[in-house]
A and B are shown apart, each in its own frame.
Chain A
Amino acid sequence: MLIFMVRRFGTMVLTMVVVSLLLFLLLEINIGSVAIKVLGPYSSEEQRNIWLEANGYFEPFYIRYFSWLGNFITGDFGDSIRFKVPVGEILWPRLANTGILGLATMLVVIPLSLVLGVLAGMKEGSNLDRGISVGSIVTTSIPEFASAPLLSAIFVFYLDWLPGTSSMASGFSLVQLVLPAMVLVLYDFGYVTRMTRASMAEVMMTHYIRTAVLKGLPYKTVITRHALRNALIAPFTVIMLQINWLLSGVIVVEFFFAYKGFGALLLEASLTKDIFMIEACAMVAVFVAVATQTIADVGYTYLNPRIRFA
């Protein structure tokens, strides 16, 4: 187990190094534009060169990369070009906001899709199963950028029930969370439902469940005591991976509802080539990806006694 964790950690570090290096290389193209960003479009060529010089941009690529890496390891993420403050000051609050949105989404998605998935998987091929399966395929087929304008047209302008933007300008507000979360839930729950359904259906086919049913145990008892535990292992993994998906899945939603989260930050940073911001965001993304994967694997082992790490 310890060896497993150490190896995972090693992979994560290596991945971070490779990703950061690739991003540095990708952003190396058109490096001079950074000075224009900082000094404004009306600055003179001379001023730009002075700034580039002062900030070490004329140093060879690898020196800049390693100095960034050194600072990063010691916790100094550099200054954002767009915001002109240390990256952390912007990044952490934004990440927390996305965490809130993700949590709200998951709080709806998990119970909803587990219940629907179990209901559908209990009797494969039943009308209920057909209905839930097709319904979840349909909602998964509606992209967020199509459902967001539609839902806000309905709930903001026709019904006037909900606010149309979620900038949380005057502090946290639960009603502002409803629409973004609704769009995410709509797009996401179908996938988890289908995974749960498949897992449940598979468990229902196993011998021990059939035996239990044949033994004359009440159907309810069979489902709750025997089937559920085994059926929920696969969805657990899927849900962990959904957390990783949410990190970028929120981009469209955050952009549309002006929600100040990680996705919108990453989008803006990519568009303005805010290099240190992109790097820091990327490191967070890699960390979350590896961490959720690890938790999924460990949890899978814990839930499924048949697998042990060698």
Chain B
Amino acid sequence: MTDIAAGVQRRESRIVRTLKGLALIRESVVGMIGLALVLFWVAMAAFANQIAPFPPNATLYPLAAPGEFVEGMGTFWLGTDHIGRDILSRIIHGSRQVLLYAPLATLCAYLVGIPMGLAAGYRRGATDGVLSFISNVILSFPVLVLYIIIIATIGASGANIVVAVTFASAPGIFRIVRGLVLDLRNREYVFAAETRGETPWRIMLVEILPNARGPLIVDACLRLGYVIITIGVLGFLGLGLPPPDPDWGGMINETRQMAMSFPHMTVFPGIAISSLVLGFNLLADGLREVSLRD
């Protein structure tokens, strides 16, 4: 009883410590800007229905310029696209797609990559050999091509994008986790746990993983940004989330023919995606900065 209680208490305090560590971000100006950008888009996604002035797919008034007021409809702050949909509303609703699929895909990649990395780093030997080889095979092939072949073969849908991202990102996560574990497995608390006779998976998950959280959190932020770009690229190549639900990469793809005559159609979604990626990158930078300060 006391043992478990102590364990729980220790884990709680670890969570608290992590949160306190994350809270240090407020000391980094860059990190705070990043956090603000990310939270801005999270708020947009959460309250899209309340914030967006129009339904995202409604064909209202084609080719309105940014800020144009149309009698009986209202003002199209960022203009409309060629079939009359309000760009502002589409960008706001599009944040939902991005903030749903990018974290989901990243999370899946971690759920696959972390156990593999833990096992390879802790067990070493044959386990490490096999897993490392698999990840090297996947990593030796251009990632974007891998996405394209997978999507072109199994078709484009939200779930398939998650599958493709998981498949292509997990090896990178595997490598990082493996490297961290190779370092951490020689620490005293691991030996202590081994002497206590704890099972290997318990040691990996309870003793080693939490101590690797710092670099992993930074990596997750960077990776989120990268996954957002990847989903955008797939949309841009016409392999992204199926229309008509707005997706930033797809919005650029649909209107890039008109980029020269009506720049607002491509520039605003481009700014949206860049700002969100920038948010995650700055956040990662800030986190790294404060973690180095410890």
Interface residues of A, Cβ cutoff 8 Å to B: 11, 14-15, 18-19, 22-23, 26-27, 29, 133-134, 137-138, 140-147, 149-150, 152-153, 156-157, 244, 247-249, 251-252, 255, 266-267, 270-271, 273, 278, 281-282, 285-286, 289-290
Residues of B contacting A252 with CB < 8 Å?
233, 236-237
Residues of A contacting B269 with CB < 8 Å?
146
Q: Decide yes or no whether B153 CB sits under 8 A from chain A.
A: yes
Cα A142 to Cα B253 with chains together (Å): 16
Are the C-beta atoms of A150 and B274 separated by less than 8 Å?
no
Are the C-beta atoms of B144 and A285 separated by less than 8 Å?
no
CB distance from B279 to the nearest CB of A (A): 8
CB distance from B116 to the nearest CB of A (A): 17
Known: A137-B281, A141-B274. A255 touches B259 (CB 8 A): no
Stretch in B66-74, B105-113, B260-268 with 4+ CB within 8 Å of A:
B260-268
Residues of A contacting B259 with CB < 8 Å?
149-150, 152-153
Interface residue ranges of B149-173 to A (CB < 8 Å) = 149-150, 152-153
Chain B: CB-nearest residue to A156: B260
Interface residues of B, Cβ cutoff 8 Å to A: 30, 133, 136-137, 139-145, 148-150, 152-153, 225, 229, 232-233, 236-237, 249, 252-253, 256, 259-260, 263, 266-267, 269-271, 273-275, 277-278, 281-282, 285
Known: A150-B270, A267-B237. A145 touches B252 (CB 8 A): yes
Are the C-beta atoms of B232 and A251 separated by less than 8 Å?
no
Are the C-beta atoms of A150 and B140 separated by less than 8 Å?
no
Say which residue of A147, A156, A248 sits within 8 Å of B142 (CB atoms).
A248
Cα A289 to Cα B278 with chains together (Å): 28
Chain A: CB-nearest residue to B151: A270
Are the C-beta atoms of A290 and B237 separated by less than 8 Å?
no
CB distance from A128 to the nearest CB of B (A): 15
Cα A137 to Cα B229 with chains together (Å): 14
Cα A18 to Cα B135 with chains together (Å): 12
Residues of B contacting A153 with CB < 8 Å?
259-260, 263
Are the C-beta atoms of B140 and A290 separated by less than 8 Å?
yes
Are the C-beta atoms of A137 and B282 separated by less than 8 Å?
yes
Cross-chain pairs A/B with CB under 8 angstroms, 6 sampled: A26-B150, A145-B249, A145-B270, A146-B232, A244-B142, A252-B233
Are the C-beta atoms of A270 and B260 separated by less than 8 Å?
no
Residues of A contacting B282 with CB < 8 Å?
134, 137
Cα A147 to Cα B256 with chains together (Å): 12
Residues of A contacting B141 with CB < 8 Å?
19, 282, 285-286, 289
Are the C-beta atoms of B233 and A266 separated by less than 8 Å?
no
Residues of A contacting B285 with CB < 8 Å?
133, 137
Chain B: CB-nearest residue to A17: B137
Are the C-beta atoms of A285 and B236 separated by less than 8 Å?
no
Cα A22 to Cα B137 with chains together (Å): 10
Most buried by A among B141, B152, B249, B270: B141
Residues of B contacting A249 with CB < 8 Å?
144
Are the C-beta atoms of A145 and B236 separated by less than 8 Å?
yes
Cα A244 to Cα B144 with chains together (Å): 12
CB distance from A44 to the nearest CB of B (A): 26
Known: A146-B273, A252-B237. A15 touches B30 (CB 8 A): no
Are the C-beta atoms of A150 and B267 separated by less than 8 Å?
yes
Chain A: CB-nearest residue to B139: A289
A sample of 7 more A-B contacts (CB under 8 A), given A255-B237, A285-B141, is A134-B282, A140-B281, A142-B270, A150-B263, A251-B233, A270-B149, A282-B141
Cα A134 to Cα B31 with chains together (Å): 11
Known: A143-B273, A146-B273. A23 touches B149 (CB 8 A): yes
**Nearest 10 pairs of A and B residues by beta carbon:** A248-B142, A146-B270, A141-B278, A289-B140, A145-B236, A149-B259, A141-B277, A248-B144, A157-B260, A142-B274
Known: A137-B285, A153-B260. A143 touches B145 (CB 8 A): no
Cα A140 to Cα B232 with chains together (Å): 15
Are the C-beta atoms of B233 and A146 separated by less than 8 Å?
no
Known: A249-B144, A255-B237, A267-B148. A143 touches B153 (CB 8 A): no
CB distance from B246 to the nearest CB of A (A): 16
Chain B: CB-nearest residue to A30: B153
Known: A140-B281, A285-B140. A270 touches B145 (CB 8 A): yes
Cα A281 to Cα B142 with chains together (Å): 10
Are the C-beta atoms of A15 and B233 separated by less than 8 Å?
no
Are the C-beta atoms of A143 and B256 separated by less than 8 Å?
no
Most buried by A among B137, B249, B256, B266: B137
Cα A208 to Cα B143 with chains together (Å): 41
Chain B: CB-nearest residue to A190: B281
